[in-house]
Amino acid sequence: MNSMRPIRNISELERAGLIDADQAISLEAVTERYAVALTPTVARLIDRTDPADPIARQFLPDMAELAVTPEERADPIGDHAHSPVEGIVHRYPDRVLLKAVHVCPVYCRFCFRREMVGPQGLGTLDGEALDAAFAYIRGHSEIWEVILTGGDPLVLSPRRLEEILRQLADIDHVKIVRFHTRVPVVDPLRIDAALIAALKASGKTIYVALHANHPRELTSEARAACARLVDAGIVLISQSVLLKGVNDDPDVLATLMKAFVETRVKPYYLHHPDLAPGTSHFRLTIAEGQAIVSALRGRISGLCQPTYILDIPGGHGKADIGKSSVREVSEGCYSISDYRGGEHVYPPDP
């Protein structure tokens, strides 16, 4: 039952006891469309006795993924419209995404790039494409930050990561290199001295945005992996997706955000789920999301507050959709709501 090897298909899921034989047959239709992978760490985290386990829900394929709703789209956040060269997405003037790989150690069932990642996805940039991507960054002096995402950039070997970072080292206007990854949580032992040395090879300021959605993901091994990164001088921030049946509960989110802060990971973004195909079973309404986020305000330290974000469909970028607590009631006069819902006039009456 205790699978020690990576799981990458239906028969391996069945062999690991994570699905039964009947499910294996019906789920074939899901896995033909969307990639499946679990690391041994994630497989061990799943509580097989709980049919609503929030870890299982994030990683085990589900028949609900076959239901595609009319508003869903293959490229929900409009990467394609802002891609000047292969592997680069340049939506905001001062920063670009560099998508060097479209492979992940785990495939999240709600993934916003699920049509681009996996063995049938966009693949890994070859040397020529990477050179073109670096030439683009070099040629645009307004690019202050390069964000390595994908896919999960930390699936690359330390040697390949170092090659990429050495290229960035030579570009003076790039000051910040950010990695978006799930690896410290889903494969914590991969965060070793060689990988950390590679991450630091550019001499730039390095940020790692860690993707985790449920407090149980922050095991002692995951926390130790984060500690190795922070102790090496890398700044850690969090990103989570607000997901029905995983973390759509102020208590669960509060525990998750506190676990990040305890791990020296500063909560950064809480994403409203994107309109990726076959993910409607994960989506709540924005009003439901706002109610959950408002409930965090009074409950936990300011250190623990993430920004609630929607990536506007069509490539229009991110918007802060946390409920605004300020409302102008007359010229220069505002009504401010407190975390309990009370309303206060600002400036107050003399």
Ligand X SMILES: *Cc1c(COP(=O)(O)O)cnc(C)c1O
Give contact residues for ligand SF4 (rule: CB under 6 A). 104, 107-108, 111, 113, 117, 150-152, 182, 211
* CB of 158 or CB of 289, closer to ligand X: 289
* CB of 54 or CB of 151, closer to ligand SF4: 151
Active-site residue, 311 included = yes
Active-site residue, 166 included = no
- Closest separation between CB of residue 77 and ligand SF4, Å? 12
Query: 333: annotated binding-site residue?
Result: no
Among residues 57, 99, 113, 283, the one annotated as catalytic is 113
Among residues 44, 92, 264, 268, the one annotated as catalytic is 92
Task: Produce one character per residue of 196-231: b if its CB has 16 or more CB atoms within 10 Å, e if not.
Answer: bebbbbbebebbbbbbbbbbbbbeeebbebbebbee
Q: Which residue has the tokens 């309303």?
A: 343
- Closest separation between CB of residue 212 and ligand X, Å? 16
Residues in CB range of 200: below 8 A, 6 or more apart: 165, 206, 232, 233, 234
Query: 104: annotated binding-site residue?
Result: yes
Which amino acid appears at position 56 of this protein? A
Among residues 53, 75, 99, 108, the one annotated as catalytic is 108
Residue among 253, 105, 125, 126 nearest 181 (CA): 105
Which of the choices ligand X, ligand SF4, none does residue 97 contact, using the CB cut-off of 5 to 8 A by kind?
ligand X
Residue among 2, 10, 51, 16 nearest 30 (CA): 10
Active-site residue, 251 included = no
- Closest separation between CB of residue 133 and ligand X, Å? 14
Active-site residue, 274 included = yes
Which of the choices ligand SF4, ligand X, none does residue 117 contact, using the CB cut-off of 5 to 8 A by kind?
ligand SF4
Provide the Cα torsion 289, 293, 294, 299; round to 10°.
140
